[in-house]
Amino acid sequence: MKGPRRGYWCECWTQDLTEQRGPALLASFDAYAAPQADRWVAVTLRTISSALDADASDAAWEWLYDGRVETRRALLRSEPCTVSVTHEDIRITWTIRPVIFLPFLHRQGAELPSCAHDYKPRKPD
């Protein structure tokens, strides 16, 4: 990657609605095209739909058949999107946000700072 690149940052959060704690990050994914981003959610929803309760499964399939098109359109307009289903007391939420990915600097051919040589690997116990 030579310079900044547009893409989408995708996350999957879960929250137990019976507890006072906030949501917990379950997974994240970097996508470089809108179809790749919404496909990540679609594949996950199809995979778990048979394990969801009836209402959550219906919500999942409703998004897969109807909501996915709107999600894709919003992503192409560079708008963030959220997809949620609630299974029993657990809310699962996927977020997709447009981002600009910055390239990493390769260390090959670059001089490392002197402190990098102070690191000594720990011997296994």
The secondary element (H helix, E strand) that includes residue 43 is: helix 34-48
Band of residue 50 on the pLDDT scale cut at 50, 70, 90: very high
Q: pTM to 2 decimals?
A: 0.77
For the chain, the average pLDDT equals: 87
- Per DSSP, the three-state class of 71 is helix
Find, among 40, 57, 39, the residue nearest to 48 by Cα. Answer: 57
- At 2 the pLDDT is 74
Residues above pLDDT 70, as percent of the chain: 82
What average pLDDT does this structure show over 71-89?
95
Q: pLDDT band for position 103 (50/70/90)?
A: confident
Tokens read off for 69 = 């098109």
pLDDT above 60: residue 106: no
Higher-confidence position of 114 and 14: 14
Q: CA-CA distance, 9 to 98, in Å (whole number)?
A: 6
pLDDT value, residue 112? 61
Task: Choose between 112 and 16: higher pLDDT.
Answer: 16
